Homo-oligomer: A and B are copies of this chain.
């Protein structure tokens, strides 16, 4: 059964978002009456039947709805500096969604080179990864955010940042699975000592992520994997 993303699954019948409607009607050419699956990205799965399909759009009659329990006991928020190559960041988003993450913030740091990031593309990558892994949860993906702005937020209580300089306890020692967590991952060249000092002043602890030097997207996914799997132990 084909799966589609539809943020609003309330009501007796729903309208697919433009891109999903186009995929259903123009690409897959699904006829009226076809049964499809729907995911709202916020924990609800539904089964529906195509009611109308035209160039104007695609409406689906809801046959049943299932609200799923949260997958994890605590939230995972990763703030990750953009990579030089966009495809590495897209890859990270795809894998993080498969493994499990609640929020991704592309982070502008002192040593961040890339000033732009196609958030719409990241959203699409996240949606297709959610469908592929048959998840009903879609993480929030923020616009590019400066360290300054991120730290002004009311962030999760367990605050960690990956840092290669100096000796730190490892993520694996530090991380407590039952507490909402935010982890900061720096760019190539890592965070500056000034940034590290700012993080520490706002309750963040530096952690190491294994012995080897990891690329930004590798470190981010390793953190995501450890944190997500540690909760499902």
Chain A residues within CB distance 8 Å of chain B: 71, 91, 95, 98-100, 132-135, 170-173, 209-215, 218, 221-222, 225-226, 228-230, 232-233
Chain B residues contacting A134 (CB-CB under 8 Å) are 212-213
Taking a contact as CB atoms under 8 Å apart, the answer to whether B171 and A214 are in contact is no
Residue among B135, B170, B212, B215 making CB contact with A135, cutoff 8 Å: B212
A1 to chain B, nearest CB (A): 14
Residue among B99, B172, B211, B215 making CB contact with A230, cutoff 8 Å: B172
A39 to chain B, nearest CB (A): 12
Taking a contact as CB atoms under 8 Å apart, the answer to whether B98 and A212 are in contact is yes
Taking a contact as CB atoms under 8 Å apart, the answer to whether B133 and A212 are in contact is yes
User: Known: A222-B99, A233-B172, A233-B173. Is A215-B91 also a contact (CB below 8 A)?
Assistant: no
Taking a contact as CB atoms under 8 Å apart, the answer to whether B211 and A232 are in contact is yes
Residue among B91, B213, B214, B229 making CB contact with A210, cutoff 8 Å: B229
Taking a contact as CB atoms under 8 Å apart, the answer to whether B170 and A98 are in contact is no
User: Known: A173-B233, A233-B170, A233-B173. Is A210-B222 also a contact (CB below 8 A)?
Assistant: no
Can you give 28 A-B contacts (C-beta < 8 A)? A71-B212, A91-B91, A98-B212, A98-B215, A99-B214, A99-B218, A99-B222, A100-B210, A100-B211, A132-B215, A133-B212, A133-B214, A133-B215, A170-B229, A170-B232, A170-B233, A172-B230, A173-B233, A209-B229, A210-B228, A210-B229, A210-B232, A221-B225, A222-B225, A222-B229, A225-B225, A225-B226, A226-B226
Chain B residues contacting A210 (CB-CB under 8 Å) are 99-100, 228-229, 232
14 additional A-B pairs beyond A99-B222, A133-B214, A170-B232, beta carbons within 8 Å, are A95-B221, A98-B212, A98-B218, A132-B213, A133-B213, A133-B215, A134-B212, A135-B212, A171-B229, A172-B229, A172-B230, A209-B229, A210-B232, A226-B226
| A132-B173 Cα distance, complex, nearest whole Å | 26
